[in-house]
Copies of this chain bind each other. A is one copy, B any other.
Amino acid sequence: MTSTSTATEPLFLRACRREPVERTPIWMMRQAGRYLPAYRAVRARASFLDLCHTPELATEVTLQPIDEYGFDAAILFSDILISLPPMGLEISFPDKGPVIGNPVRDRAAIDRLVVPDPVATMPFVMEAVRQIQRGLRGRAPLIGFAGAPFTLVTYAVEGGGSKEYAHTKGLLFGDPAAAHALLEKMADTVAAYLAAQVEAGVDAVQIFDSWAGILSPADFDEYALRWARHVIARLRAHPAVVARRVPIIYFVNGCAPYLDAYASSGADVLGVDWRIDIDRVRAAVGDGVALQGNLDPGVLYAPPAEIRRRVGDILAKAGPVGHIFNLGHGVQPHADPEHVRVMVQAVRELSARPGSTGP
């Protein structure tokens, strides 16, 4: 996956760079997940954290959707919270969602957090990257990922998921200096962690700002985008990212209110959730970035003909250049695996360029 010859580069990487493609590439957020019977079989004998911590198991489930559907990219099996324990936060994953045992709500707790060495503290991630690349044997590029600083802060401060984000807003608005100190530690951790993933061999990275959409536009700029930019700028300057032209994807779930700012993140690719039409995003952000998205994950509950119709609609709105097809958010556990196949097939057929050699 380290070739720099455009002709032989994978579709996914070419689309990230807005280069010509024979057809639109597709992968799916949470493609290694509970909707897949093969994944559930592994989970029957190992916990979620076991999968994250055991390179052999992470490799097995990462490869499952590649074997099953031939997606155009693989994504490292892990969790956006996996970088928090080395900072000093205790996480667990009961069935109801992640829990942080020692949430961070004041300056003293923030000051106690460390910016860890990612290779020393998360060797299992780097080893998983190497094993996955061996297992992929060039079939698809591998995406590494991390949580964005703001999104990680919401978990660290709330102690898990939240509805109202009262503690987070209390910190941001009650003590902005402390909030920025925490965001900076998160950003430094994430930047080093993603750089280590690139050094271990991932071909692209995605930064998930899953909860940036709870902010007003001014607060999005100040607390989410500013620190995502910090991570992106650090990565951009990293020798391995430069040498291998590793694309950087930034995904804000609920991006519609922030499009003007979103365009200036510095990322090569912007993720687009399903609540907004992708042609409106293109009109707002211009031609300088690729877009990734944006089928409503719930559309996988529709009959095949309707899935196909909606896939065609998104392909038409996104156009042939600089588009990576994806869901607008992670695939849901109850999605029908055969409907996923219908979606993949529809993207392949409906995006094939006349006269090209694809798919």
Q: How far is the CA of A166 from the CA of B169 in the complex (A)?
A: 29
What 18 new A-B contacts, CB under 8 Å, besides A166-B298, A166-B334, A218-B277? A164-B298, A165-B298, A166-B332, A168-B298, A169-B296, A169-B297, A173-B301, A174-B302, A213-B275, A215-B275, A216-B274, A216-B277, A216-B296, A217-B277, A254-B254, A254-B275, A256-B257, A257-B277
User: Footprint of B on A, CB under 8 Å?
Assistant: 164-166, 168-170, 172-174, 213-219, 254, 256-257, 274-277, 296-299, 301-303, 306, 328, 332, 334
Give min CB distance, A322 to chain B, whole Å.
Answer: 21
Given A166-B334, A332-B164, A332-B166, are A173 and B275 also a contact pair (CB < 8 Å)? no
Q: Is B299 within 8 A of A173, CB to CB?
A: yes
9 tightest A-B CB contacts, nearest first: A169-B298, A173-B302, A256-B257, A170-B301, A257-B276, A256-B256, A257-B275, A173-B301, A216-B274
Give min CB distance, A278 to chain B, whole Å.
Answer: 10
Does more than half of chain A's interface fall in helix, strand or loop, or is it mixed? helix
Chain B residues with Cβ under 8 A from A298's Cβ? 164-166, 168-170, 172-173
Give the number of times this chain occurs in the complex, counting copies.
2
Give min CB distance, A169 to chain B, whole Å.
Answer: 3
Chain B residues with Cβ under 8 A from A164's Cβ? 297-298, 332
Q: Is A219 within 8 A of B296, CB to CB?
A: yes
Q: How far is the CA of A277 from the CA of B276 in the complex (A)?
A: 17
Given A254-B275, A257-B256, A276-B257, are A169 and B215 also a contact pair (CB < 8 Å)? no
Q: How far is the CA of A298 from the CA of B176 in the complex (A)?
A: 13
Chain B residues with Cβ under 8 A from A215's Cβ? 275, 296
Chain B residues with Cβ under 8 A from A214's Cβ? 275
